[in-house]
Structure 1
């Protein structure tokens, strides 16, 4: 029997991804390159989704006309942060993700028709797995030495009408991306303790 031993991340890597990572609220003027943005997805795409469905879609928005169109749909308290970030990702779910099933799940292509015939199952699968992938996306940003500023404060319907007018994609999260700026962090908020969360059976 072949066994596999997985590598354990060292303390520095765990700090980068989890214990030391913070949501950035200000960003330095240091550019984020197209290559770095591409690398985020190249890393995030390997994490698991049910039936390998991969419903998340990513729209990168650079400063300029596209950013102006995005900022007007952000809540007032988020507009300055989004306007100043070197790059912004609008994360959306693909309501027709099942069309890719034959390519991403080649041993069970008939699942495409199962999803096509069940609107509730398709919507639930898209929402759950795109949300999972949004979490992976944030970790990928951090893993590449960048700061992420994920935000739910926006007019999703407005963003969808602005950028996804055919109705296929639906925005679920906006993530500002860059290097931390001046006073980038709020005070660290408490996390629930092990005893409040974990049970044993």
Structure 2
């Protein structure tokens, strides 16, 4: 992974991104449903997963688990769980990622959060707390996943139109029953000729309060 070169780390962190970077991550980024016939390298997927793991999570719990579907066979396994309007979007995408959260994330806390030896015990037997923690922090990592993909030059097409229970049964089954799908995200290089105009957004005054 490329490192920041000459600027001190603290100075670099507090320097706003330039307009080109902001455009790539936000202003010019879109949700794609159609894709160029261009593959995504596996090494880029590894880097994407690594960056997603750097998201801030409670007790560094890192509950996100990613299944990258790259073959026609894997795509066809997913099809029965999709709503009809999403089938071709998945079949045309170079990669479809299933973003799930691990409800037994706390088993890794002795490694991920070693300075609190009692962290795991907070969640054992407390189903509401572990579910809430896994879902919230897995979703937070999912947001970072999209930004990381864009930062690496990929386009994204996140999808929630599918049957979670079917996805869990097909891909996790009895081997990983503690995994729960959150959303799926197509990845690749989007076909800009098929985009609609960007939808409106709420203004600052409509969505925010300064207190």
After TM superposition, is the score higher than 0.5? yes
SS in 2 for 1:136: helix
- TM-superposed deviation, 1:63: 2.4
8 Å contact kept, 1:28–1:180: yes
Q: Counterpart of 1:187?
A: 197
Q: How far apart, CA to CA, are the structure 2 residues paired with 1:4 and 1:32?
A: 33
- TM-superposed deviation, 1:32: 0.3
2:144 counterpart of 1:99? no
Runs of 4+ in structure 1 displaced over 3 angstroms?
none
- Gap regions ≥5 residues in structure 1: none
Q: How far apart, CA to CA, are the structure 2 residues paired with 1:172 and 1:117?
A: 22
> Which aligned pairs between 1:1-201 and structure 2 lie closer than 5 A?
4-5=10-11, 6-166=14-174, 167-181=177-191, 183-201=193-211
Q: CA RMSD in A?
A: 1.3
Deviations 1:115-164 (A, max 9, x none): 11311111110111111111110111111111000000001110100000
- TM-superposed deviation, 1:19: 1.1
Q: How far apart, CA to CA, are the structure 2 residues paired with 1:182 and 1:122?
A: 41
- Gap regions ≥5 residues in structure 2: 1-8
CA distance 1:47–1:144, change in 2 (3 Å): same
- Matched length: 199
8 Å contact kept, 1:28–1:182: no
Q: TM-score, normalised by structure 1?
A: 0.95
**Which piece of structure 1 moves more, 73-82 or 37-46?**
37-46
